Amino acid sequence: MKKKEKEYIKLQEKLNQVLMEKKKESSRSGMEIMNLLQKEGRQRGTWNGKKNDNDYYKMIVDAYEVKKQELMQENADLRALLRSMQMDMREFLNAPNGSSQPTVAANGRKEAGSPQSPLGGKTDVFDLPFHMARDQIEESLRTKMASIKARMTQLQDAQKGAEVTSEATERELELEAQLVEARSIIQEQASIMSKHFTKSDKPSGRRHSSLDSEREASAEV
């Protein structure tokens, strides 16, 4: 149970970290381009000729292309990470019983293995432009998170039931041990009492024999 809770917390932290890094990178890239434009704009006043203007614009375009490539790479990494998280969550949900059946979320909807592409077919939704796949990805993530929360509740309830059963079993074993001990004590006391009564009966028998002999002697006189 603790292992499942750690995996659930790890998935949440991983998703939050990715989203925060994506926001920071987008903001930083935009600021870097703006700073570059402002810097080159101040220097442009010292340039002369058409060639210098072309070099200035080429520098801006090159800087833009570099940032564009960086954003595209970050976007690809983010897509790969989202795809990996989808697989991790699906494995987490199917792990307890090993079933490949769709998981029923808290809202009653069945969660498929991966979000469906709006274009249909076998196109991976994570390879589509974000504006086309956003709704499907968000819905899939929200549904999976709801399914994970429901599964965690089920595991917690199962753990509580197991603890109650374990406590009842331990109590039964304890009572059974006490019963065996009590039976042993009773048997031991019965044995002691039986031996005592046996010893008590023997002297009484000798006394009865003496009285009978005396009675017979008196009768003969």
pLDDT computed for residue 101 by the predictor: 46
Q: What percent of the chain has pLDDT over 90?
A: 0
Mean per-residue pLDDT for 153-177? Answer: 79
Mean per-residue pLDDT for 20-31? Answer: 62
Label residue 27 by pLDDT band (50, 70, 90).
low
pLDDT tens digits, residue range 171-190? 788 888 888 888 888 888 77
Residue 111 pLDDT > 50, yes or no?
no
Label residue 32 by pLDDT band (50, 70, 90).
low
Q: Specify whether the CB–CB gap between 126 and 79 falls below 8 A.
A: yes
Residue 126 pLDDT > 50, yes or no?
yes
| CA pair distance 39, 202, nearest whole angstrom | 125
pLDDT computed for residue 30 by the predictor: 59
Mean pLDDT of the chain: 69
Q: Is 151 exposed, middle or buried (0-12, 13-18, 19+ CB in 10 A)?
A: buried
pLDDT computed for residue 98 by the predictor: 42
pLDDT computed for residue 23 by the predictor: 63
The residue with tokens 């595209």 is: 72
| CA pair distance 114, 101, nearest whole angstrom | 13
Other CB atoms within 10 Å distance of the CB of residue 93: 20
Q: Which contiguous run of DSSP H or E holds residue 104?
A: strand 103-104
pTM of the model: 0.40
